[in-house]
A and B are shown apart, each in its own frame.
Chain A
């Protein structure tokens, strides 16, 4: 069942800065003026990277049919990778009349028989929430029968946006998995990575560096994650939230229950990556480790600078406008600055209070209505490149400036030191491409 009280609590999270000032909830979709994904999608994004678990969506087609195998989250799991696979109970008219519990139970049995996963996550959707299927009971019975965790995730789309769904997924993991297994040994510098989904292998850009410093990743939620690891996550010494405000509740609760402190970091850009490493290391208060970390940071930064050298000349004195949402409004800005670009303005249209506060420290102009402001700013500041979603392409062509679609599913990692070179390559390619001046050219009969 949907837990109304939990949803209310999650929306009023005390660790969210905006809730200290006003009592507005985190998200409320407006009919006819909403573009973001739903709670189910948020839950899916947060949990699908567990490749050793099967993700079963209990609902009709739209929820999964359009969304499976769409995210480039990578895993090193050697068994069958369940992340790019889609499992759906395909609820039909008949199930709506007679209830979908039987179909769900049969589907779980089918999955256990044919796939033998480490766990099954069962996602409630709007329709199965409406018809009142007793998903908790079905999961509990099946879990006892098959002796694997079968975890109900109560984040049907209509309860809210992606952010809330991600929170609800975190709660499901916290209640059903975390603390259910004791590790053989407890690592003195063990951390949990929370909120990095290893899209295009982002995590793999910085985890080896952490390991060299002496830090061990105990568990993740959920990039390259394993069910067994998350069950033992309560024995880590530190929670590291990576660019994901939505999972702050989970970290606060783990602090209360298991006395695990948490730090919030970003691995986009050189400065932020170095700072992220420092905040993690500082949390342990081990001087030898801090020294080791500083050495490695100097080393990595020097290596990066050498690799960026060929692009510096092209990127020098270039000015950009960034129009994207959420934490990207500042994290990508920071990364762009690190490759030598001046970021004149960034959009805060879809950013949280917290993101706006951070964005202020990086970028001079914050755009509230970028659609109206960006064209003017391009002229006023002599901008060279616009980084935005596909809808802004026409603005770039009209103003004859280079364009990078930052909202499109990216193919390579922009994470940490290594990823910054990829960003430099992509930005240079756009800056040097004649297509942006050519494609919008007037036809001979238009003059």
Chain B
């Protein structure tokens, strides 16, 4: 249902975030990992500042600090090995997540070769993530794919009760934890890759920011080969599940585009029940479904008449728009980058920036987007619900739960209350 827009040569007030930024977050979901961005120092610095302000916590990241001389005479080996030497002087990472930027892809560095040269010194996973292609979601996904192909050891065994959850980049720390918990209620042994639920969940830790402070351990990743079931959430990571299945053919892959809204959750739990040969889920899940049913009815008064713009990463825009569609909200989605998921939207969808948002906003009631929506919401007196990256305005970003029956209830109530409150002003 995409709407044509004026083809313009530039981005005005961009919505898009870059691939290396997605890669950074992916590697922060691995325990004791140092994300190492192969590029000029600024790429890592901008990324660090954005995520530090977003999460309100120190962010571990380093840069190979390519300069105008090494950019010309070095194929990557020098700056990468220098970086590893300097990093290991201060800390002992279990893994270095090495990934490229536009600069180092333009000069065509051989990061695989450079990593192999250093393999006796430091465990490294490398990923190609130029910022002139893709965006946040694809950078995350490409890094996960690299981890799957480079770290997981082959296994002849199969553990049917072992689940690997691959969330998309938009899921918050607490959302990853909620999915893990719900899977545990089905008696699965659950691993998430990446696992931000105990690294960027805003916990108080010692020596913050030197390395990723939590996440799945490298040892656990290596042993994922016997995983019986791989679950991917979000179209951007579907490929990760397919890649895993291709490498470990005995496993089963279940994919879900979204876990927000009644239908998406029913689909999720329905498939899990079939998988486990059960007739009913845990009582708490049944209870939360009933609460969601009631919430759908309670919120449809306010939300059924609302017209809202969602400007976000494709997977999150899809999940939110489908869930709001269930209570009759009219949604126009503007997504940050091209994605396969755009065909699945049942509302209007276009790729765009905040200039496109601003053109549409006067005829809508509210906007759901990142921090940059605030200025526009104020200018046009519209309600604003903050979702997506970056969110500099609010605290507790990692604790926001909008998935499964419970999280959908929270989302709908928060949005409905906000709409009512906004109308009153």
Contact = CB atoms under 8 A, between A and B. Distances in A.
Contacts of A59: 102
B62 A32 contact: yes
Given A38-B41, A61-B16, A86-B14, 16 more contacts: A31-B63, A31-B80, A31-B82, A32-B36, A32-B62, A37-B46, A61-B135, A70-B53, A84-B375, A88-B14, A126-B39, A130-B106, A157-B43, A158-B71, A161-B41, A394-B204
Nearest to B104: A126
A35 B45 contact: yes
A127 interface: yes
A66 interface: yes
A56 B10 contact: yes
Contacts, number: 210
A82 to B, nearest CB: 11
A56 B86 CA distance: 35
Interface of A: 2, 28-41, 56, 59-70, 84-93, 95-96, 103, 106-107, 110-111, 126-127, 129-131, 156-161, 390-391, 393-394, 397, 409, 439-440
Contact of B102 (A2, A29, A89, A126): A126
B155 interface: no
A29 B57 contact: no
Contact of B132 (A87, A92, A390, A440): A92
B319 to A, nearest CB: 22
A175 to B, nearest CB: 20
B9 A107 contact: yes
B208 A31 contact: no
5 contacts: A29-B41, A29-B65, A31-B66, A60-B132, A129-B68
Given A37-B41, A158-B71, A32 B102 contact: no
Contact of A89 (B10, B39, B53, B205): B10
A394 B10 contact: no
Contacts of A390: 52, 56-58, 208-209
Interface residues of B, number: 69
A27 to B, nearest CB: 10
Nearest to B72: A130
A390 B53 CA distance: 10
A31 B65 contact: yes
B317 interface: no
Given A29-B65, A38-B41, A397 B372 contact: no
Contacts of B68: 2, 129, 156, 158-159
Nearest to A40: B42
Contact of A394 (B14, B47, B206): B206
Interface stretch (B17-25, B164-172, B176-184, B296-304): B17-25
Contacts of B39: 126, 157
B14 A68 contact: yes
A130 B107 contact: yes
B103 interface: yes
Given A89-B10, A90-B11, A127-B102, A61 B67 contact: no
B133 interface: yes
Given A32-B84, A96-B106, A394-B206, A62 B20 contact: yes
Interface in B313-334: none
Interface in B48-83: 48-50, 52-53, 56-58, 62-68, 71, 79-80, 82-83
B83 A31 contact: yes
Nearest to A92: B132
Contact of A29 (B48, B67, B204): B67
A324 to B, nearest CB: 15
A2 B71 CA distance: 13
B282 interface: no
Contact of B42 (A87, A90, A157, A394): A157
Contacts of A158: 40, 66-68, 71, 103
Contacts of A63: 42-43, 46
Contact of A33 (B57, B62, B130): B62
A34 B63 contact: yes
A60 B107 CA distance: 15
A38 B102 contact: no
Contact of A86 (B12, B47, B82): B12
Nearest to B42: A38
A366 to B, nearest CB: 22
Given A62-B131, A66-B17, A391 B45 contact: no
B52 A110 contact: no
A391 to B, nearest CB: 5
